[in-house]
Amino acid sequence: MTTGVPLTAGPLANAALPDAPPPAPPATEIDRFVALSVALTGFDAFELQGTGMAGFYLKTVVEQVGRRPYDALRKAMEQVGFDPEKLQGDVDQDLARAVTHLWYLGVWPPLSAEVHAQLQRQVANDAFTAAPEAYVQGLVWRTFHGHPQGAKAPGFGTWAAPPPGEPELPRPGEPARHHDGTTGGTR
Amino acid sequence: MSPARDLDGHRYDVIVVGAGWAGSLVAKRLGSQGWRVLVLEAGTTTLDTWPGHLDAMNTFYSSLIKVPNAPYRANTAAPSPSVLDTVPHKGVHRYQSVGYLVQEGPLPYGTDYLRAGGGTGMHWLGLTPRMLPQDFKVRTEFGYGRDWPIGYDDLQHWYCEAEREIGVAGDAAEQTREIGLPFPEGYVFPMHEIPSSYVDRVMAEHLDGKTVVDPGTDEPVELRVVNTPHGRNSTPNQAYDGGRGFRPQDAVGLPNYGERCVGNASCTPICPVQAKYNPLKTQAQWSRKVTLIDRAVVSRVLVADNGRVTGVEYQAYDDPATPVATTRTVEADVVVVAAHAIESARLLLASELANSSDQVGRNLMDHPVMLAWGLMPHQVGPFRGPGSTSAFERFRMGESRKEHAPWRLVIANWGWTWAAGSPGSDVAEMLGIPETPFQQRKKALYGVPLRERLGDRIGRQIAFQFELEQDAQPGNRVTIDRRHRDALGNCRPILSYDLSDHVKKGMQAAMGVSHQIFDLLGAEERTAYQADAPSYFEYEGTGYAFNGAGHGCGTHVMGDDRRTSVVDQWQRSWDHANLYLVGCGSMPSIGTSNPSLTMSALALRSVERIHQDLTELHRPLVLRPAPAPEYAHPTEARP
Amino acid sequence: MTVRDPLTGLTGFTDIKTPLAEIEQPPFEIPRTVPKLRYFLQAALALEFLTIPPYLTAMYTIKPGANQEAWYALRAVVLEEMLHMTLVANMLNAVGGKPVVADPRFVTDYPAKLPYAKEQVPIALRGFGREAIRTGLWIERPEKMEDLPRTGKEPDPRGWTSIGQFYATIREGMRRLAEKQPDLFDGDLTRQVGPEDFYNSGGRAFPVTDLASALKAIELISEQGEGVPGSIYNPDERLFGQANELAHYFRFMEVHEERRYGPLDTPASGPTGPALPIDWTAAYRIDPQAKVADYPPDSEVRLAAEHFNQVYARLLWLLDRSFNGEPKQLQAAIPVMLELRDLAAQLYANPHPDPARAAKGVHASATFEITQAELLAAKKQLDTGAGATALLASLA
């Protein structure tokens, strides 16, 4: 009936898998990257580690900008007491933006043209999704208690429920329901 | 070698061109009636396997801009347009088309389609509102566009059948109460309604029972949030089908995997759990009488001297990345072209067929979508659930249609994703990252303030989609020109597209309504149309921009006069009695309803006629009068 | 302890030396009274439920994107176990019982011993790996694989050696009781969970109203796990008109052997079809005996693991209510399960808080521990109608 290949077709099945995660950098190095990322993202170490992406992101950053500029950013962050607002210099500032962008969206952004030139990068200055899973693990969705579109589905009908801190509301056309002693709709 | 190369010279009862939505339904029904059906698909058919589905998921995850075609692999032999193909331009027009479609009209046609097994129905949003009875006679009732040769009552039975095939979830009683839709006595949809979103509930709380004034007519219109019927798995209604209930359809490619909508919030471009109907679910029900051949681009419908079509010529290719093909032919008693409005018109024009009315390719319609967006004072939980679960329906109907185009005021559940590229654009903005590397970077926000500001901003996002009815205009058309060809040498579609003043007046009125709604909501309106947007235009001193809805319709319109329409009420070519053109292209007007359901009803209705035609053709003992010297259309030949 | 896998001949489970948690069990025999039948059904409910956290643990410790075929196999099994639990609750309700879920005497800690199992096989929360799959093989092993006493005879009082045998014992008791008591199945019909409340991959729930529907439920439960006798397939095609699907045991066998069953394969032949490559390293390594108390107080991992258990307690209450007169609550239970999925995934992705263990590559765990205090807190939360649960239960 169809020309479909069965589920067991090895090559195709493997083609559907995202790139296997590369060998992770040493744990201490990941911890330092996470510490820096906590300051940049506002998410705690558990949440960042919970994405499973920390080692992969560190590797991505180093691949994109080189070891020395990354180390420089890390040292600069230590020197400013992990307050990114106090970062000086276009390179450090733009790398801080890029690392944060990577965590929030799973996407490596283009650097500013000047910084790109200054770093003498050997790669194109283009945006790309670091890995399929990187999109899924983007932090931005957590900022409003959401989930990435197309992943981590929360279940049938959950979209009818209020987001945290908001009141229950009746379904359209129904009278306001009494709830917890208060009428739905009061804020 | 592609199996497509193997068919040369074979003969079938029916050839269906296109394994998309309409074609899949037609093939299912005809196959189950015992007819030998060959379905030719121009694209590939990887999506009906689970690895193919997972590949599409990962392609979607990896894509930077998650447009409707983002999950589906490019195919150089059978290219598809993308909504990213129209780009700003400084020239005769404000836009340029850089993709498969050639565009020459005043405004861009901003809608895509997908040439692959399952077709554009792979990335539909999943809404199945019926057309209103008054939508079928807009010329008579309201003085614009074209009337249908049939009415709502003729489609009633077929709407019900389509709702069964798709597995519609909804509240029929509410549709009658709020929209006035007639249903058969005691009718319920196969499944209970998809729950209205929290965003809908917020809207209802603020707006239900309030009125706004239509600035085009100065008439008040009452606002009421109405749940939309969906083609997506919900809770089966045990009262359906006289108490026999309904069995929802599983996903395709993985045995016994299928469930209710779990709220992935990615219906367009792809439903990860396949709770949303897609045409592959229909293909999974095909009988063995149906043969599907993919990578077979039909280049011509073949016709005999007596005016009857004899089959098709197609190009068989192996590798979608290597556009080389061998040409084959295959024959059938009946040919059904169901290749999407634009592709079907393109094929007819290339075949120089069915066009004695000069209407092939004309009357191209879409639902121009005007977006409006803003911020509520509080969190509304956007980016959850299906893309839309409710709408305000009163703007679709009534006397105001004489003054301006009507619209369906759709409540969006996914924040500013369509309007402004959220949430990616919000992150970039707060990090001070501009659109290009050459622009000045701004100061970035970091840490907890970044997290909180993003949550506050994105969590309050609301948006509306004003989906306007576009009236049939002969100048909005698909043509071909041998100078514009694709890699296999087939003529690419050339579009000329514009909005009529009737539509522009509709946008003007819609904008007025939009402002009133934001006021009633106490929301901060953020709607802004950029003058360099490809679809930007000014009307009576105000700037507008719009998007395509993905609803290409009207390129082979049906009518009751062969001089002014391409097909009769059965979607049968006036010029060729055994050629059917099935799909949205047959619709003379499209109302304000997402067209897939109506298209399905029309397709199922046509199957009855095709079955009748084939039965007559194969009845051995019927004495026929001598054939007329010149071919006459059957409906004309009979008293 | 050492256990020899009767089918593969492999030994395993030697890493667990602590005593196994166990529910209280009167002697194993064909139930001759209604209370005894109810008790056995309650034990069956516990058994079905106890299998779910280990399977979830195996599933959620697979690293994202890896071993997708194993992931989908585990997913299918978990959903069918949920269906089994629901059907057992329907049977229990049909004979006038009151299913108990939210009770620490019922939901034991891990490693656990399955109720009425003859052997001391530890059911532990293992990360994805061969041991986890072998646990599944042990749980689901077919009746025919063992030299079992014929049904109808009194079972071995030391317990069952296959779950099918356990259900055969219940079935025999139910048959005999139904003969003596025509009103055996006179339970309140409104307590039955139907397809409106539960449908998903692997079949739909159906009400149990008489002996025939009860026997159908038992047949489905046994055969989805162990296969139609003599076959590698489950009965879904016959019962639900669904596609032919492997029974749990054979799904696990495919993963274990890294090879698919071919069209002519039988239980005896083992899988001889195409290769099914498994990357056993693409999984988070965890401690199969992890407890919340292992994690330093106030550490992020500790708080997350405790939070997980609180949500788990909420799930138990929702299931409890679903099976006790509020079937609609089952709709609210699914989102809670999905919430647990996300919380667990975060834990597994985090290194163990003990640096020494982290250095060995051990990760944090969801521990699935339930105390009376947690259950009380979760109940209070539910009773105040907090969160989405009340609304979700009101849908449909």
Average pLDDT over residues B574-603: 98
Q: How many domains does chain B have?
A: 1
- Same domain? For C152 and C300 the reply is no
DSSP state of B184: S
* Residues of chain C contacting A180 with CB distance shorter than 8 Å: 384-385
For the segment B231-254, the average pLDDT, to the nearest whole number, is 92
Do C208 and C279 belong to one domain?
yes
User: What was the pLDDT predicted at B472?
Assistant: 98
Query: Chain C residue closest to A157 (CA)?
Result: C392
Q: Are residues C341 and C240 in the same domain?
A: no
List all chains that touch chain A, counting a touch as 3 or more CB pairs closer than 8 Å: B, C
Confidence of residue C119 (pLDDT cuts 50, 70, 90): confident
Interval C155-177 mean pLDDT: 89
Band of residue C158 on the pLDDT scale cut at 50, 70, 90: confident
* Per-residue pLDDT at B531 exceeds 90: yes
Say if residue C100 is in the same domain as residue C229.
yes
In a domain, B275, yes or no: yes
Tell me: pLDDT of B636 over 60.
no
Domain shared by C369 and C305, yes or no: yes
Q: What is the mean pLDDT of chain B?
A: 95
Per-residue pLDDT, averaged over B318-337, amounts to 96
The answer to whether residue C301 neighbours chain A at the CB level (below 8 Å) is yes
Q: What is the mean pLDDT of residues B156-181?
A: 98
* C195 at A interface, C-beta within 8 A: no
Distance CA A73, CA A75 (A): 5
Task: For residue B84, tell me if it sits in a domain.
Answer: yes
Domain termination site, one of C230, C264, C289: C289
* pLDDT bucket at B409, cuts 50 / 70 / 90: very high
Helices C211-226 and C68-94 cross at an angle (nearest 10°) of 160
Residue C395 contacts B, CB cutoff 8 Å: yes
Q: Is the pLDDT of residue B533 over 60?
A: yes
- Residue A162: closest C-alpha in chain C: C388
Which of C260, C334, C341 lies nearest to residue A156, judging by beta carbons? C334
- B243-259 burial, b for 16+ CB within 10 Å, e for fewer? eeebbbbbbbbbbbbbb
Q: Which residues of chain A neighbour C359 with C-beta distances below 8 Å?
A: 27
Confidence of residue C224 (pLDDT cuts 50, 70, 90): confident
What subunits make at least 3 CB pairs under 8 angstroms with C?
A: A, B
> Which residues of chain A have a pLDDT value below 70?
1-27, 175-187
Q: B629 preceded by cis ω (within 30°)?
A: no
pLDDT for the residue C201: 54
Chain C residue closest in CA terms to A134: C64
The pLDDT score that the predictor gives to residue B445 is 98
Domain that holds residue C324: 290-396
pLDDT beyond 50 at C146? no
B192 interfacial to chain C (CB closer than 8 Å): yes
Per-residue pLDDT at C159: 85
Using the predicted structure, report yes or no on whether residue B616 has a pLDDT greater than 60: yes
Domain segments of chain A as ranges: 27-143, 154-187
Question: Looking at the predicted structure, is the pLDDT value of residue B104 above 60?
Answer: yes
Q: Do the Cβ atoms of A52 and C63 come within 8 Å?
A: yes
Backbone phi, then psi, for B597, in 5-degree steps?
A: -65, -45
- The whole-angstrom separation of Cα B349 and Cα A179 is 63
Q: pLDDT at position A10, please?
A: 31
pLDDT at C63 over 70: yes
Q: How far apart are CA C87 and CA C354, in angstroms?
A: 42
| Residue-number span of the structural domain to which B275 is assigned | 1-91+113-175+232-364+551-639
Hey, are the CB atoms on B62 and A135 less than 8 Å from each other? yes
Q: Within 10 A of C9 (CB to CB), how many other CB atoms are there?
A: 7
Residue whose token pair is 């590798």 = B319
Residue B528 has pLDDT above 50, yes or no: yes
What is the pLDDT averaged over residues C51-61?
Answer: 97
Between C172 and A178, residue with greater pLDDT = C172
Candidate from B218-232, B338-352, C254-268 with smallest mean pLDDT? C254-268
Cβ-based contacts of B378 with chain A (< 8 Å): 166, 187
Of A8, A51, A158, the CB nearest to C349: A51
CB of A140 closer than 8 Å to CB of B486:
no
Number of domains observed in the structure of chain C: 2
- Per-residue pLDDT at B154: 98
C73 contacts chain B (CB < 8 A): no
Whether residue B507 is predicted with pLDDT greater than 60 in this model: the reply is: yes
**Using 50, 70 and 90 to split pLDDT, how confident is the model at C156?**
confident
Give yes or no for B389 touching A (CB within 8 A): yes
Q: What is the pLDDT of residues B362-399, one digit of tens each?
A: 999 999 999 999 999 999 999 999 999 999 999 999 99
Domain boundary among C259, C289, C319: C289
What tokens were used for A38?
A: 């906590």
Q: What is the mean pLDDT of residues B158-184?
A: 98
**Could you write out the three-class secondary structure of chain C?**
CCEECCCCCCEECCCCCCCCECCCCCCCCCCCCHHHHHHHHHHHHHHHHHHHHHHHHHHHCECCCCCHHHHHHHHHHHHHHHHHHHHHHHHHHHCCCCCCCCCCCCCCCCCECCCCECCCCCECCCCCCHHHHHHHHHHHCCHHHCCCCCECECCCCCCECCHHHHHHHHHHHHHHHHHHCCCCCCCCHHHCCCCCCCEECCEECCCCCCHHHHHHHHHHHHHHHHCCCCCCECCHHHHHCCCCCECHHHHHHHHHHCECCCCCCCCCCCCCCCECCCCCCCECEECCCCCHHHCCCCCHHHHHHHHHHHHHHHHHHHHHHHCCCCCCHHHHHHHHHHHHHHHHHHHHHCECCCHHHHHCCEECCCCCCCCHHHHHHHHHHHHCCCCCHHHHHHCC
Structure-block tokens of residue B239: 């009262």
Mean pLDDT, rounded, for C308-327:
95
Among chain C residues, CA nearest to A46: C300
With CB atoms and an 8 Å threshold, state whether C199 touches B50.
no
- Tell me what the mean pLDDT of segment C350-366 comes to: 95
Q: CB-based contact (8 Å) between C396 and chain B? A: yes
Cβ-nearest to C331 among A18, A52, A157: A157
Q: Does A14 touch chain C (CB under 8 A)?
A: yes
Record: contact A97-B254, CB cut-off 8 A? no
Q: What share of chain B is helix, strand, coil (3-state, %, to 5)?
A: 30, 20, 55
Closest CA to C123 of C135, C115, C134, C131: C135
- Among A30, A135, A152, A156, the strongest candidate for a mutation testing the C interface, having the largest count of C CBs within 10 A, is A156
CB contact under 8 A, B423 and A140: yes
Domain at B360, CATH number: 3.50.50.60
Is residue B395 in a domain? no
**DSSP codes joined into one string, B548-582:** --S--B-SS-B-S-TTT-SB-TTSBBSS-TTEEE-
> Measured between CB atoms, does C64 come within 8 Å of chain A?
yes
CA nearest to C194 within chain B: B238
* Tokens, residue A27: 């744990």
Q: What is the mean pLDDT of residues B245-268?
A: 88
* Domain final position from C289, C307, C341: C289
Q: Between these two residues, C157 and B51, which has the higher pLDDT value?
A: B51
Maximum mean pLDDT: which of B6-20, B337-351, C154-168:
B337-351
Q: From the list A42, A109, A147, which residue is nearest B451 (CB)? A: A42
- Stretch C364-390: mean pLDDT, rounded? 83
Q: Which residues of A touch C279 (CB under 8 A)?
A: 20
Is C274–A7 a contact, with Cβ atoms under 8 angstroms apart? no
Q: Judge whether C280 is closer than 8 Å to chain B, CB to CB.
A: no
Mean pLDDT of chain C: 88
